[in-house]
Structure 1
C-alpha cells in the first residue's frame, strides 16, 4: 500500500478542479490517500527580499514535509489565462526555493479541467514540464474538457472521458506499485 497526497492548485471555494480531484481520488483503491486543501496553508507572494529578510514561511515547510511523507501525488491543476493560477505558481515558487528537489522520487498524476474545450491543457503541460526540474516524475496526465458539459453531481457524464480517467488511474496505480 502506497501513501498518496492529493490536492488542487486552486484557491477557489467552488473550484471545478477540486470537484474533479474528489472524483478521481474516490476511485483510487488499496492505497492510503491524504487529501489536503492548499488554502489551509497560506503563503505570502514569493520575493527574494522576503526570503532573505524573513526566511521561509512555516507553511512552505509544512507543505514540503507533507509531500516528502508520501510516495505519490495526485494534483489537479487549474488554469488562469493559459497558465497555472498565481496561487499555485506561488506555492511552487516557495517550495522550489526551500528545496530545489521537493518532488524528488515522487510519482505524479496530473489532472485538469476548465469550462473550455481544452480542459486547462496549457496549465497541465506547463506543470508537467516543470515538475521534472524538481525531481518529480509525471506518470500520467488527464484533461477533462468542457467541465459543465461533461461533469455533473460529482461524476463524469461522458462515457469516453470516464473510461479515459479509468485508463489513466490504472497506469498510475501500476507505476506506483512497481
Structure 2
C-alpha cells in the first residue's frame, strides 16, 4: 500500500507534518512517502498567470503524487481560521489540472495546533469541501494542545484517548 502523507503547511517546524508522519508510520506494511509543500512552491495563482504561462510543472507533480497513492493523510495547519496560503496555492494550481484533485483516493484528514481548538475550523472546512474535489474522506481527527499531547522528541502521541481515536481513524481508512 502506497501512503502519501503531508502537512498543509510550509513551515520547516510544522507540528502538522509531525502528526501526519506519525499517523502514516502506524500503517503496517506501507510504503510511506512524506511530502514537503516547499517542494511545490509556485507563484500565487491567478487566471492571468495561467493564461500567460500555463500551469506550473510543480502542480502536475503534486497531482501525479496524489494519483499514485492508495491512501492520503493530510494534517492541516490553521492560519486565521483557514488554510495556509502555501496549501491553498498548491491546491488552487492543481485544481486547474482537474477539479477532482484527490482522484477518489481514501483519505484521513487531521489538524492540530498548540492551542485547545486543535485547528478544528480549517479541519471542518476541509472535510466539508472534500467531496467537491473527489476526496474519499474515511475519517478526520483534531488534536488539540499539540505540545501537551505529543512527545516531539519521541515523535508520538502521549494522550491515550487521542491515540485510540487515531487507531480508529486508521482502521476506517483501511476499510
TM range (shorter): over 0.9
Distance 1:148 1:70 in 2: 30
Distance 2:150 2:140 in 1: 18
Instruction: Give the 4+ runs in structure 1 shifted more than 4 A.
Output: none
Distance 1:108 1:88 in 2: 16
Distance 2:172 2:62 in 1: 26
Q: CA offset at residue 100 of structure 1?
A: 1.1
The residue number in structure 1 matching 2:159 is: 158
Distance 1:122 1:63 in 2: 25
The residue number in structure 2 matching 1:56 is: 55
Q: Which consecutive residues of structure 2, in runs of 5 or more, have no partner in the other structure?
A: none
Q: C-alpha deviations, 1:62-84, integer Å up to 9, x for none?
A: 10011111122111111001111
The residue number in structure 1 matching 2:24 is: 25
The residue number in structure 2 matching 1:67 is: 66
Distance 1:50 1:130 in 2: 25
Distance 1:100 1:164 in 2: 31
Name the Cα RMSD after superposition. 1.1
Q: CA offset at residue 32 of structure 1?
A: 2.1
The residue number in structure 2 matching 1:122 is: 121
Distance 2:70 2:159 in 1: 31
Q: CA offset at residue 31 of structure 1?
A: 2.5
Q: CA offset at residue 101 of structure 1?
A: 1.2
Distance 1:73 1:22 in 2: 11
Q: CA offset at residue 147 of structure 1?
A: 0.7
* TM-score normalised to structure 2 length: 0.94
Superposed, which structure 2 residues align to 1:78-117 within 5 Å?
78-117=77-116
Q: CA offset at residue 12 of structure 1?
A: 0.5
SS for the counterpart of 1:98 is coil
**Number of residue pairs matched?**
173
Q: CA offset at residue 54 of structure 1?
A: 0.6
